Amino acid sequence: MLPIVPLPPLKQKRKNSKANISTINNQIISSPSQIDKSKNNQFKINISTKNNNNTNKKNNNKNNNKIIKKEKIEKIEKIEKIEKTEKKEKKENFNISFIDRAIINFSKGLYSLSLQDALKSMETEDSSGKANYIAFLCYLEMFDIKSAEKLIQNKNKKLKNLLESKKKQILSNLNNYKSYPKYINFLQNLYKNNSFFPKIEVQFYTDDYRGVIAKNKILKNEIIMVIPKQCLITLEVALNTSYGKKISEFMYHDLNSPKHCLLSSFILFEENNPLYKYYFDLLPNDYSNFPIFYTQKELEYLKGSPFLNLIMNKKMDMQMDYNKLCEKIENFKNFSFERFCQARLIVSSRVFGIAINNVKTDALVPFADLLNHRRPRQTQWFYDDSKNSFVVQAIEEINPGQEIFDSYGKKTNSRFLLNYGFALENNDMGEYQLSVAFNNEYPLFDIKQKLFKNEYDFIKIFNLNNNFQESQILELISYLRFLLYDENINELLKVVLSAKNMANEEMTINYYFFYPINKKIEIKVLKHLKYLCEQALGRYPTTIKEDQKIYIENKNKKDFNFNYRNCLLLLMNEKSVLMYYINFCEYCLKLLKTKKKIDVIGKLAKDFKDNDFKLNFYIRDAILKLINEREEEEDDKDFEKKEKQKEDMEEEDI
C-alpha cells in the first residue's frame, strides 16, 4: 500500500474544493511511481527529483554489497564443509590414527611420542594388542622396566623373553659400572625431550670412559642423532642467568678464556638444577688423565719436555680466571679451585661450535659429546634450524657393533693431551716448542737491542712442526738471520728497515721478515738451528729408540699406565720433530755446498720422486736464490779476470 502524502488545509476555499482536490490529486496521487518511502512533510513533491539523482549510486552499492555477501557466504560454507569432513574423519579414524602414529614414531626412534599415542589408543579402542605391544617396546627402550612388566602380566611369552633379556643387560651393566643408573636416567630424560638416536647406544669401557656404538646397520648420510635445542647448554642460556649477566660485564677484558669460564660457571651453579642434573650426573668423576692433575711422579715422565711449561701456563691461566670470578661473582668462592678446573676441562673437551639462526655460539650437547675421536671421521654434525635441533649424520656406512667416531680436528699430541687427556699413537701432526734466547752471546747485541728496543722479547718461543710451510718456521729462520748477522752495521740497518717496511705494508703476521742475506749467514743459521735441536734432544733422559721399545713392549698390557702411555707418545712425537729439523739442516747445508744450481735441481728431483716437497719453498726462496747469486758473482769474477787478462795482453803488445 502506497503512503499517502498529507494535503494542505481546504477550509478557506470551500467553494472551489472539488476543483482544487482534483488538481492536487492529479499532480500527486496520479503518479504513484514517483512517491518515495518517506513519511515526513519535508519529503513532498520534490522527493522524486532527489531519487533520480542518486539511483545510479545506490544501484552500484547494492551490487557491490551483493557480491561481498556472496563471497562471505561461500567462504563460510567452505570452512563448514572442511570442519564437517575433519570431524567425520576423526570420528571414523580416531583409534586407527593413534596406533598408526605410534608405530610410525616408534620406527623413527621417537619413543616418548610413540608411547603417548599408544596409551591413547589403548584408552579409546578394543584393539588386538598392537597398542599394548608398542607401549611395551617403548617402555623397554626407555628403560622403564616396571611399567613394561605391568603391561604383559606374564601372559605373552615373547614379550616376557624380551623383558628378561633387557633385565639381564641392565643387571650386567649395573654390576660392572657404578655410573650405569645415571646413564639410564640420562637416556630417559633425553627421550622425554623427544631426542632421537634409535640405531646407536653407549658402550661402557670403564665408569668414566665410554663410546658410542651402532645397534643396527647405519647407511651413508643417515641421521643418527637429533638433540632438541632445549637440551643444549649454549652461551645464551648461561648469559640469561643472574651470574651470567654479571660475568658478561667483564669476561672479554678480564678473563683468559671468557666463553669457557661462562659455561664452566653454569656447570657449577646449575649442578643440581633438575633441567640439567641428568646430564651433569653422567659427566666423568675422574680427571686424573688431564696433565694439570698429574702427580709429581707422573710429571717426571715428561722430564726434558717443554710440555711441562704448557701445563704450568694453563694452571696459571685457570688460577687467574678463578681469582677474578671469586672477586666479581657472589658465592663463587664456595666452589674450590679444583672443582673449577674440572668444569673448565669439561667445557674445553666437550664444547661444540655451532650457529643457531646464523648466530655463532658454543654449546654443550648431551650424548653427542660421548663420540670419541678418530681421523678420518665417520660423522658430521651441525645445528638444523628447521628441526630446531643439533643433528649428527653418518658420512659412511657403519656396521652393527662398530664404534662410531667423530673428529676433534687435526691437532698435535700436546694439544690433545693438554685439552682432552689423551695422545694418539699415529699422529702425523708433530710439535716442539723451541725457545731461543736473545742475549749478548750473539754478535752486535747492543746495536740490535737498540734497533728493536722492546719489540723483541729476550726469549722467544717457536712451535716447530713437521710441516715446514708454517709461518712459525719462517719467523724462526728470519729471527736467526737477524741474531747471527755479524757483518757491516750499515747493511744491517738496511735489512732491518726493509723488514720493518714489509711488516707494516705487506705482512699480516706479527714479525719482521728477513730475506736470505748471503750464503755465509745462511750457513750459520742452519748450523745454529741444528745445534739448538741437538741441545733440546740432549735434555731428555731417554732416546726416541728407548721410548719406542718401552711402548711396543707394554702397549697391549692391561696394567700399562694410561698416563705413562700418553707421555711416551708425546715424547716420541716431540723427538721426531727435533730429528726432522736436524736432518733438514744437514740436507740444506749439503745443498749450499753444491756449486751449480742445475746440480741442486737434479738432486731434488732424485730425492723427491713422489713430489713430497716439504722443504721446497725454503729451497726455492733461500737455497736456490743464494746459489744463483753465487753463480752470478763467480761469472762476474770470471768476466773481470778475462777483462784483466785482455788488458794485460794489450799492454804487453804495446
User: What average pLDDT score do residues 291-309 get?
Assistant: 97
Fold adopted by 47-176: 1.25.40
Distance of alpha carbon 576 from alpha carbon 156, whole angstroms: 64
For 251, the enclosing helix (H) or strand (E) is helix 251-254
Q: What is the pLDDT of residue 613?
A: 47
Distance of alpha carbon 74 from alpha carbon 77, whole angstroms: 5
pLDDT over 50 at 198, yes or no: yes
CB 217 within 8 A of CB 397: yes
For 164, the enclosing helix (H) or strand (E) is helix 157-176
**In this structure, how many other beta carbons lie within 10 angstroms of the beta carbon of residue 70?**
10
* Max Cα distance, the chain (Å): 173
Q: What is the pLDDT of residue 105?
A: 86
Q: What is the pLDDT of residue 6?
A: 41
Top pLDDT among 372 and 9 is at 372
User: What average pLDDT score do residues 458-482 get?
Assistant: 81
According to DSSP, residue 621 is labeled I
Nine-digit cell string for 437: 734466547
CB 208 within 8 A of CB 286: yes
CB 604 within 8 A of CB 619: yes
Q: Name the range with the highest mean pLDDT among 309-318, 476-485, 606-615.
A: 309-318
- 3-state SS track over 533-598: HHHHHHCCCCCHHHHHHHHHHHCCCCCCCHHHHHHHHHHHHHHHHHHHHHHHHHHHHHHHHCCCHH
**In this structure, how many other beta carbons lie within 10 angstroms of the beta carbon of residue 134?**
24
Sequence-distant (6+) residues with CB within 8 A of 491 are 517
CA distances from 593 to 174, 587, 619 (A): 70, 10, 13
Name the pLDDT band for 150 (thresholds 50, 70, 90): confident
Task: Give Cα 398 distance to the centre of its chain.
Answer: 23
Q: CB-side exposure of 322: number of CA atoms within 13 Å?
A: 19
Backbone φ and ψ of 377, nearest 5°: -75, 160
Please spell the DSSP secondary structure of 348-389, one letter per residue. Answer: HHH-EEEEETTEEEEEE-TTGGGPEE-SS-SEEEEEETTTTE
Superfamily the domain 226-420 falls into: set domain protein methyltransferase, domain 1 (3.90.1410.10)
CA torsion through residues 104, 110, 113, 114, sign: positive
Task: With H, G, I as helix, E, B as strand and everything else as coil, classify residue 511.
Answer: coil
CB 404 within 8 A of CB 224: yes
Name the pLDDT band for 652 (thresholds 50, 70, 90): low
Any idea which of 151-165, 383-397, 421-435 has the lowest mean pLDDT?
Answer: 151-165
Distance of alpha carbon 191 from alpha carbon 195, whole angstroms: 5
User: What average pLDDT score do residues 43-71 get?
Assistant: 53
CATH of 431-593 given 3.90.1420.10, 1.10.10.10, 3.40.50.280, 1.20.120.50:
3.90.1420.10
Top pLDDT among 385 and 31 is at 385
Burial bucket for residue 410 (CB in 10 Å: 0-12, 13-18, 19+) = exposed
Q: Which residue is listed with cell 699415529? A: 426
Taken as a whole, the chain contains a residue count of 654
Q: Are strands 359-364 and 233-234 parallel, antiparallel or unpaired?
A: antiparallel
Distance of alpha carbon 610 from alpha carbon 286, whole angstroms: 47
Q: Cis bond leading into 181, ω under 30°? A: no
CB 356 within 8 A of CB 186: no
pLDDT digit string (tens) for 561-579?
999 999 999 999 999 999 9
Q: What is the pLDDT of residue 107?
A: 83
Averaged pLDDT score across all residues of the chain: 81
Give me the amino acid identity at 327: E
Sequence-distant (6+) residues with CB within 8 A of 277 are 271
Q: What is the pLDDT of residue 159?
A: 81
Determine what percent of the chain is predicted with pLDDT higher than 70: 74
CA distances from 618 to 468, 489, 576, 612 (A): 8, 26, 20, 14
Nine-digit cell string for 97: 590414527
List the domain boundaries for the chain.
Answer: 1-45, 47-176, 226-420, 431-593
Distance of alpha carbon 128 from alpha carbon 111, whole angstroms: 21
Nine-digit cell string for 425: 699413537
Backbone φ and ψ of 406, nearest 5°: -110, 170
Nine-digit cell string for 82: 572442511
Can you give the C-alpha Rg of the chain in angstroms? 44
User: What average pLDDT score do residues 166-181 get?
Assistant: 88
pLDDT over 60 at 360, yes or no: yes
Q: What is the pLDDT of residue 21?
A: 37
Any idea which of 21-30, 110-119, 225-234, 584-593 has the lowest mean pLDDT?
Answer: 21-30
Q: CB-side exposure of 387: number of CA atoms within 13 Å?
A: 15
pLDDT digit string (tens) for 100-122?
888 888 888 888 888 888 888 88
According to DSSP, residue 455 is labeled S
CA torsion through residues 195, 201, 205, 211, sign: negative
Backbone φ and ψ of 207, nearest 5°: -60, -35
Q: What is the pLDDT of residue 131?
A: 86
Nine-digit cell string for 352: 661444540
Sequence-distant (6+) residues with CB within 8 A of 553 are none
Sequence-distant (6+) residues with CB within 8 A of 117 are 98, 99, 101, 102, 105
- Identical fold between 47-176 and 431-593: no
